[in-house]
Chain A
Amino acid sequence: MTEPQPTILVIEDEEPIRKFLRVSLASHGYRLVESADAADGLVQAASCQPDLIILDLGLPDMDGVELTRRIRQWSKVPIVIVSARGKEQDKVVALDAGADDYLTKPFGVSELLARLRVALRHTSKSDTGEAVFDLGDLHIDMVRRLITRAGQPLHLTPNEYRLLTLLVKHAGKVLTHRQILHEIWGPGSALETHYLRVYMNQLRQKLEADPAQPRYLLTEPGVGYRLNV
């Protein structure tokens, strides 16, 4: 690979987790910068220009959500947050504050790498993205506004189409309910999550072989949705 080693800043107060990340990420070609608290993390984020930040929400000196907001004031660096199970609301707040994705403790290394890849890809690509997208036997042509499944054209309503293309644009990345509602129905929409659930359900009926066991349109319980790639 000619690509330079991406630099990853880990802001995490637990030494064992930092050690695990250091060992596993180094062996997969990442360069690691470590911070044990938020204050040092902020300095490092500004000074060493990381390509991605892994941020623990439970820091001793500052709320992870607040730290996300501060970084977002001057940087678009992807932020992947790490938190314990049962803190879904914290994750949603952090994601809405500008974090790109999340990992629930405990997590495996494959899951971690997948998240990092997705987050890094979205920054390296321009926002226009590719006009044509293939997902298994699904073919999505955003120029011609045509969606086929095994060659058969599918008829989607305008909102279904917008929902699908939104997920495709952020493929592999989690989108919170609020983010989706804002994107499709506008920032002022007072619509509730269940609108989204109904459309997602319909979309699954049309796209998935078994809507109860979706392969592509995944639910992130309590947080939002993710297009599985």
Chain B
Amino acid sequence: MNDTRPDPDALLAEVVQQEAASHRGKLKVFFGSNAGVGKTYAMLDEARKRAAEGIDVVIGYAEAHIRPETESLLLGLDLLPYKLIEYKGATLKEFDLDAALVRKPAIVCVDELAHTNAPGLRHAKRWQDVYELLDAGINVYSTLNVQHLESVNDIVEHITGVRVNETLPDKVFDEADEVELIDISPDELIERLREGKVYKTQQAEQALRHFFNRGNLIALRELALRRTAERVDAQMRDFRRVHDIAKPWAANERVLVCVGPSPFAAQLIRATKRLASAFRAQWLAVSIETPIAAALSSDARERLAQNLRLAEQLGAQTVTLTGTNVVDELLAFARQRNITKIVIGKPDRPRWRDWLSGSIVDDLIRRSGQIDIYVVRHEQKASTNTAQNPAPPRRIHWAEYGCATLICAVATALGMFMYHVLGHEGESFSNTNVLMIDLLAVLFVAARFDRGPAIFASLFTVAAFDFTVVPPYYTFNVSDSQYLLTFAVMLVTALVISTLTHSIRRQREAARNRERSTAALLSLSRELAATREKKNIALIIARHVAEVFDSQAILFLPTLERELAIAAASGELPPLDDKELSVIRWVFDHNQPAGCGTTTLPAARGIYLPLAASSGNVGVLGLLDPRRSADPEILHQLEAFANQSALAVERAALAEESARAWERVEAEFLRNTLLSGVSHDLRTPLAAITGAASSLAETDSLSPAAGKELAENIVHEAERMELLITNLLDMTRLEAGGFQLHKEWHALPEIVGSAIHHLHKRLSQHRIVAHLPANLPLVFLDGLAMEQVFTNLLDNAGIYTPPGTEIAISAFITSDRLTIDVTDHGPGLPSTDPARVFQKFFRGGSRPDTHARRGMGLGLSICKGIVELHGGTITASNRPEGGAIFRITLPREGTPPTIDTQG
């Protein structure tokens, strides 16, 4: 392999980036080492210049109110009103994202890129606001201090001793289109501070003492310069890659960091990021799930997820491996991915544990072969960042304590009974055995309940044992020191057992949870696979999600106008207010999760995920008032469900689309058949007419007999044409829904008679028989339409049966329906599927002797249409004794009017 070739993936990423960038707004960051260097001033100065050039510039947010010279820059610029947020009694001024999006200027200035938004705003962080502006094609000017960069967070803390909580993912800085370093010398900065240009004088004194001492400022300045240099370097590399300048192509370093739930892992991750940047290497963060790790507490799992998120934010690819041996898995993965360096944390456990279970670090170093191992120390005093998300307070199960007390009390009572009653009667009852009973009780409690009750039980039994069995009785004094050992062993036993039980139970629960969600996912996908319709798919999704997450699930799908509508919801849906709906809309438009439990719009009632499919966003899955919103797992699990759902919904949408396409094709086919049918069937009689008529007109020597035959031919063909046109018109009216029935009370024999009379010339070669009961009551129907039905049926029978045979029409009536049969003695219908004769343009093989009297294949489908308009059915079948039978069944409507016919 030629290593100097640019990585195709990298080039693709470049293309994607450029493509996105062409629509995206540009971000310019005014970057400084510290507050007071003049970032805001520089930003506003630049904004003024742009505004003077006639560009539409708006000040979205500027922290200028305390520095007069900066404030003066704002004069004459378009200021966006702040969004005022009431929070804990104070009114916070925040950047109004929506106003900016509506205003849509060319450039928006938003100060303090690393700012954390007040609760209640759409995004948790201001940089997310900025990204939304960029997505909307708006250019943004913003400011940033180096200490807010995530990757230098530890270093800054190390230098200044102050932990910065407002951090910005490095990718935002790295992805910025332009970074302008605002740099002044530390002395000048201190001077400015003294003059009160940065903070008000009193604050300034304090700041000078704590943060702004010269050493700190130099160190921070170096950091800012270095970080800017790194960016310039990266730009240089990008330039080289794009322009295929291969010479100084860095070695293909890949760094891997092994991440656990430890709070120190964040330091480890930042260190790795710096290392990777220095080596210009790709880097990966890996967490390894072993059976022991699977039993992690929810706190630990939360921390692990946070650590992985941090790594992702810093640009790492994150992977979770599973296996029994950490070192095996790590090395196997590292070799597979061509990792050149592995970073792991310095173990913080005592040496004796290494002796017992072996040291991962030692093992890794011994077996790493070609891979370099970096062991990174951590700061002992490192505080965790979890303060922002305090763990929910542990619930105390008082019932468990009650049960434990009861069990221990019973055991103690039993022990007392044996020791004092039984022991005094016979041989002395050993107090060791009493201890055994107590131990049993502790064992039971530990195995049954949480760790708290177990410890409580061991303490309780030890105390009770001491009180009741150990002399001096009924005091807590201990006369014999050997009992102290008994107590200690008892306590340790209880602790060990309860810890073991606890961890087994945790593991079991974790396994069960995972199994449950896997099974749920499986059953969802199985049920979805068997469903085609979008509506049903939506219902299935809502039901499954609601079951698994034990909360109300809603599925929103876009309508044809791209409006979101609730496609399905589990249970009675509470009304969603406009705020909630706007969150859902946001999720759909931005293809990112939002709502409670996420960093975007966390104040929402529900958590909402986009249904991202290959063709784009196909909907939004929501969980209202989720039960476990604090659990980061929920988002991951819900994501899995959203993915499944997206696939199913997309499939249904595609199926709908293809059905529509099929309908169009079918309509097209029908039209073509109709056109070819019409052109053929109308032209044939027309040709005959033209031929006969021209013979009559142009041939002088025509015998009178021949002339008469030709003329008769013309009449016959013209009649045929008329029939075709009548059928065509009727069919068109039926198809278009313009066929309106005029129902009246009719005598069936009259309608049948009229149809027979209409056809008597055409059916002169057949015997027509009508078997209609004399007492047939009046029936409510459209007489003309039904006459058309009988005419078509009789005509059809005439065409397809030999001359001389009988065509019979009979009727019988019951209390709820009228049945009319038309039977013939012809060859019968095609045996495979008699119902086909009712299809449009179906034509059977006609009798050879009927000289081209075939119709267009519309007659019977018109019959079907008319009968169905009457709410009836028409069937075609072959009679066992030969010939075909067409049966019309009509529902009887109302009661026929009674008429005194004696008058």
Question: A interface, how many residues as a size bin?
Answer: 20 to 34
Binds A, one of B204-212, B242-250, B753-761, B851-859: B753-761
| B722 part of interface (Cβ distance < 8 Å) | yes
B interface residues, tally (CB under 8 Å):
31
Q: A106-B722, A212-B772, A218-B757 are in contact. Are A194 and B783 (CB under 8 A)?
A: no
Nearest chain A residue, comparing its CB with the CB of B733: A86
Enumerate A184-204 residues with CB–CB distance to B below 8 Å. Answer: 192-195, 197-202, 204
| B787 part of interface (Cβ distance < 8 Å) | yes
Q: Are A88 and B784 in contact (CB-based, < 8 A)?
A: yes
Enumerate B857-903 residues with CB–CB distance to A below 8 Å. Answer: 897, 899, 901-903
Q: Which residues of B contact A85 (CB under 8 A)?
A: 726
| A50 part of interface (Cβ distance < 8 Å) | no
Nearest chain A residue, comparing its CB with the CB of B811: A212
Interface string of A82-118 (1 = CB under 8 A from B): 0001101000000000000000001010000000000
Q: Are B783 and A199 in contact (CB-based, < 8 A)?
A: no
Nearest chain B residue, comparing its CB with the CB of A211: B749
Q: Which residues of A contact B774 (CB under 8 A)?
A: 205, 211
Q: Are A194 and B901 in contact (CB-based, < 8 A)?
A: no
Q: Which residues of B contact A151 (CB under 8 A)?
A: none
Whole-angstrom CA separation of A154 from B307 in the bound complex: 110
8 Å CB contact of A157 from B745, B756, B787, B903: B903
Q: A157-B901, A213-B770 are in contact. Are A198 and B756 (CB under 8 A)?
A: no
Nearest chain B residue, comparing its CB with the CB of A162: B903
| B232 part of interface (Cβ distance < 8 Å) | no
| B630 part of interface (Cβ distance < 8 Å) | no
Q: A197-B747, A221-B784 are in contact. Are A212 and B752 (CB under 8 A)?
A: yes
Q: Which residues of B contact A157 (CB under 8 A)?
A: 901-903
Nearest chain A residue, comparing its CB with the CB of B770: A212
Q: Are A194 and B746 in contact (CB-based, < 8 A)?
A: yes
| B750 part of interface (Cβ distance < 8 Å) | yes
| B666 part of interface (Cβ distance < 8 Å) | no
| B77 part of interface (Cβ distance < 8 Å) | no
Q: Which residues of A contact B745 (CB under 8 A)?
A: 192-194, 197
Q: Are A198 and B899 in contact (CB-based, < 8 A)?
A: yes
Q: Which residues of A contact B756 (CB under 8 A)?
A: 212-213
| A158 part of interface (Cβ distance < 8 Å) | yes
Whole-angstrom CA separation of A210 from B769 in the bound complex: 9
Nearest chain A residue, comparing its CB with the CB of B718: A106
| B655 part of interface (Cβ distance < 8 Å) | no
Enumerate A158-182 residues with CB–CB distance to B below 8 Å. Answer: 158-159
Enumerate B752-797 residues with CB–CB distance to A below 8 Å. Answer: 752-754, 756-757, 768, 770, 772, 774, 778, 783-784, 787
| Total cross-chain contacts (CB, 8 A) | 75
Q: Are A213 and B753 in contact (CB-based, < 8 A)?
A: yes
Q: A205-B774, A221-B787 are in contact. Are A212 and B749 (CB under 8 A)?
A: yes
Whole-angstrom CA separation of A222 from B743 in the bound complex: 11
| A214 part of interface (Cβ distance < 8 Å) | yes
Whole-angstrom CA separation of A63 from B573 in the bound complex: 62
Q: Which residues of A contact B751 (CB under 8 A)?
A: 219, 221
Enumerate B704-753 residues with CB–CB distance to A below 8 Å. Answer: 715, 718, 722, 726, 729, 744-747, 749-753
Whole-angstrom CA separation of A210 from B756 in the bound complex: 12
Interface string of B122-152 (1 = CB under 8 A from A): 0000000000000000000000000000000
Q: Which residues of B contact A159 (CB under 8 A)?
A: 901, 903
Interface string of A38-70 (1 = CB under 8 A from B): 000000000000000000000000000000000
Q: Are B757 and A219 in contact (CB-based, < 8 A)?
A: yes
Q: Which residues of A contact B903 (CB under 8 A)?
A: 157-159
Q: Which residues of B contact A192 (CB under 8 A)?
A: 744-745, 897
Q: Which residues of A contact B899 (CB under 8 A)?
A: 194-195, 198
Q: Which residues of A contact B772 (CB under 8 A)?
A: 211-212
Whole-angstrom CA separation of A195 from B897 in the bound complex: 9
Whole-angstrom CA separation of A208 from B612 in the bound complex: 78
Q: Which residues of A contact B754 (CB under 8 A)?
A: 219, 221
Whole-angstrom CA separation of A214 from B783 in the bound complex: 17
Whole-angstrom CA separation of A106 from B689 in the bound complex: 15
8 Å CB contact of B768 from A195, A202, A213: A213
Nearest chain B residue, comparing its CB with the CB of A88: B784
Q: Are B726 and A212 in contact (CB-based, < 8 A)?
A: no
8 Å CB contact of A197 from B718, B726, B750, B752: B750
Nearest chain B residue, comparing its CB with the CB of A220: B754
Whole-angstrom CA separation of A25 from B752 in the bound complex: 34
Q: Are B783 and A201 in contact (CB-based, < 8 A)?
A: no
Nearest chain B residue, comparing its CB with the CB of A108: B715
Q: Are B901 and A198 in contact (CB-based, < 8 A)?
A: yes
Whole-angstrom CA separation of A219 from B749 in the bound complex: 11
Whole-angstrom CA separation of A157 from B900 in the bound complex: 11
From residue B324, how far is it (CB to closest CB) to chain A in Å? 86
Q: Which residues of A contact B744 (CB under 8 A)?
A: 192-194
Q: Which residues of B contact A201 (CB under 8 A)?
A: 747, 749-750
Nearest chain A residue, comparing its CB with the CB of B768: A213
Whole-angstrom CA separation of A195 from B778 in the bound complex: 10
Q: Are A222 and B784 in contact (CB-based, < 8 A)?
A: yes
8 Å CB contact of A214 from B753, B787, B809: B753
Whole-angstrom CA separation of A106 from B722 in the bound complex: 8
From residue B745, how far is it (CB to closest CB) to chain A in Å? 4
Q: Which residues of B contact A221 (CB under 8 A)?
A: 751, 754, 783-784, 787
Q: Which residues of A contact B722 (CB under 8 A)?
A: 106
- Residue among B722, B753, B757, B770 facing the most chain A CB atoms (10 A cut-off): B753
Whole-angstrom CA separation of A212 from B774 in the bound complex: 10
Whole-angstrom CA separation of A196 from B715 in the bound complex: 36
- Residue among B749, B768, B778, B783 facing the most chain A CB atoms (10 A cut-off): B749
- Residue among A194, A212, A214 facing the most chain B CB atoms (10 A cut-off): A212
Q: Which residues of B contact A158 (CB under 8 A)?
A: 903
Nearest chain A residue, comparing its CB with the CB of B809: A212
Whole-angstrom CA separation of A159 from B900 in the bound complex: 11
Q: Are B778 and A197 in contact (CB-based, < 8 A)?
A: yes
Q: Are B750 and A200 in contact (CB-based, < 8 A)?
A: yes
- Residue among B718, B772, B899 facing the most chain A CB atoms (10 A cut-off): B899
Q: Are B770 and A194 in contact (CB-based, < 8 A)?
A: no
Nearest chain B residue, comparing its CB with the CB of A197: B747
Whole-angstrom CA separation of A106 from B787 in the bound complex: 19
Q: Which residues of B contact A222 (CB under 8 A)?
A: 783-784
Q: Which residues of A contact B768 (CB under 8 A)?
A: 213
Q: Which residues of B contact A204 (CB under 8 A)?
A: 749, 753
- Residue among A205, A214, A218, A219 facing the most chain B CB atoms (10 A cut-off): A219
Nearest chain A residue, comparing its CB with the CB of B749: A212
Whole-angstrom CA separation of A200 from B787 in the bound complex: 17
Whole-angstrom CA separation of A86 from B757 in the bound complex: 18
From residue A31, how far is it (CB to closest CB) to chain B in Å? 25
From residue A227, how far is it (CB to closest CB) to chain B in Å? 14
Q: Which residues of A contact B715 (CB under 8 A)?
A: 108
Nearest chain A residue, comparing its CB with the CB of B725: A85
Q: Which residues of A contact B901 (CB under 8 A)?
A: 157, 159, 198-199, 202
Q: Which residues of B contact A200 (CB under 8 A)?
A: 747, 750
Q: Are A194 and B897 in contact (CB-based, < 8 A)?
A: yes
Q: A106-B718, A194-B745, A198-B747 are in contact. Are A211 and B753 (CB under 8 A)?
A: yes
Cross-chain pairs A/B with CB under 8 angstroms, 15 sampled: A85-B726, A108-B715, A157-B902, A159-B903, A192-B897, A197-B745, A197-B747, A197-B778, A198-B899, A211-B749, A212-B752, A219-B750, A219-B751, A219-B757, A221-B784
Other A-B pairs beyond A204-B753, A219-B754, 16, CB < 8 Å: A194-B746, A194-B778, A194-B897, A197-B745, A198-B778, A198-B899, A198-B901, A201-B749, A202-B901, A205-B774, A211-B774, A212-B753, A213-B757, A214-B753, A221-B783, A221-B787
**Chain B residues within CB distance 8 Å of chain A:** 715, 718, 722, 726, 729, 744-747, 749-754, 756-757, 768, 770, 772, 774, 778, 783-784, 787, 809, 897, 899, 901-903
List the 10 closest A-B pairs by CB distance, nearest first. A212-B770, A194-B745, A219-B754, A201-B747, A197-B747, A198-B899, A212-B749, A222-B784, A159-B903, A212-B753
